[in-house]
């Protein structure tokens, strides 16, 4: 079973920067597959935040940025706002399973 | 505007069946790669199945936990995606989302990439 690991939670005060890590393996991120990020707010449809490691879809603020290196990736949220309090998931692909894989998810708390 | 609306969820006993629907609008459904993703209570997102356009052969794939029990299908005349769920287990309890898939082209073939539009989900509860 593929596991892509994220910290359960991260916290920051308004205006600060928080970073969420996403650690994969040789069959996922380490195999060269790109990483994508989603935001889940209660009661709403999941939203694509970052695709292809560091690209923002139209309408996503530039406070959100992504990066990838080796078997890991990260999402940074700068200028943290109360509306950023949500669950965030990374997603890649697993060549051993021939399946999409999601990270374990991270709850962002705005203090 | 892309809209995806899931329906058909509800309460079902273990061993029972249920069919989810996902009505799509705002894009050319017949050309779209489509997926089902679920989120169990207190757990993370889990991809469970996808289907390619009929023009691409209509190939289907399933995640191991649902293979042999769930069937994905599409009706392009109705712009609707389906998920037939059989032999349901308590661990299938989840919010089920349909999503459009973006893909990338490499070496003469298209490959699955990410999910660009999602519905709000349909809740399936499997309990006796």
Terminal CA-to-CA distance of chain A, rounded, Å?
35
Portion of chain A with pLDDT greater than 70, in percent: 98
CA distances from A10 to A19, A20, A80, A90, B30 (A): 8, 7, 12, 15, 41
Neighbours of A52 (CB within 10 A): 15
Task: Check CB contact under 8 Å for A45 and B45.
Answer: no
At A3, is the pLDDT very low, low, confident or very high (cuts 50, 70, 90)? confident
What percentage of chain A has pLDDT greater than the value 90? 87
Contact B37/B47 with Cβ under 8 angstroms?
A: yes
Nearest partner of B123 among B3, B47, B2, B10, judged by Cα: B10
Structure confidence by residue, pLDDT tens digits, B76-123: 999 999 999 999 999 999 999 999 999 888 888 888 899 999 999 999
Chain B residues with CB under 8 Å of A105 CB are 44-45
Give the integer Cα–Cα distance in Å for A22 and B65: 23
Question: Which pLDDT score is estimated for A1?
Answer: 54
Q: Closest to A45 (Cβ–Cβ): which among B44, B61, B118?
A: B118
Tens of pLDDT, residues A27-57: 999 888 999 999 999 889 999 999 999 999 9
Instruction: Tell me the C-alpha distance between B48 and B7, whole Å.
Output: 17
Contact residues on chain A for B47, CB-CB shorter than 8 A: 99-102
Residues of B in contact with A101 (CB under 8 A): 47
pLDDT class of A2 with cuts at 50, 70, 90: low
- Cα nearest neighbour of B111 on chain A: A93
Q: Does residue A48 belong to the interface with chain B, where contact is any CB pair within 8 Å?
A: yes
């Amino acid at each position: 079973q593929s596991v892509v690991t994220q910290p359960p939670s991260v916290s920051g005060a308004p205006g600060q920067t928080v970073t969420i890590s996403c650690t994969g393996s040789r069959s996922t991120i380490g195999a060269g597959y790109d990483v994508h990020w989603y935001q889940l707010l209660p009661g709403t449809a999941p939203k694509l935040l970052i695709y292809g490691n560091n690209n923002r879809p139209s309408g996503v603020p530039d406070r959100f940025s992504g990066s990838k290196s080796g078997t890991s990736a990260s999402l940074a949220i700068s200028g943290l706002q109360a509306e950023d309090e949500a669950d965030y998931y990374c997603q890649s692909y697993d060549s051993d399973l021939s399946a999409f894989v999601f990270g374990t998810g991270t709850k962002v708390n705005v203090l | 505007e892309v809209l995806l609306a899931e329906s058909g969820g509800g309460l079902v006993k273990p061993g029972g069946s249920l069919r989810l629907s996902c009505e799509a609008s705002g894009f050319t459904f017949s050309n779209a790669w489509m997926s089902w993703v679920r989120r169990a209570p207190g757990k993370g997102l889990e991809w469970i199945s996808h289907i390619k356009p009929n023009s691409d052969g209509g190939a289907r794939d399933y995640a191991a936990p649902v293979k042999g029990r769930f069937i994905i299908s599409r009706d392009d005349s109705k712009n609707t995606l389906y998920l037939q769920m059989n032999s349901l287990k308590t661990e299938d309890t989840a919010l089920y989302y349909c999503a459009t898939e973006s893909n990338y082209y490499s070496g003469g073939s298209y490959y699955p990439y990410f999910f660009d539009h999602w519905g709000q989900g349909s809740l399936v509860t499997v309990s006796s």
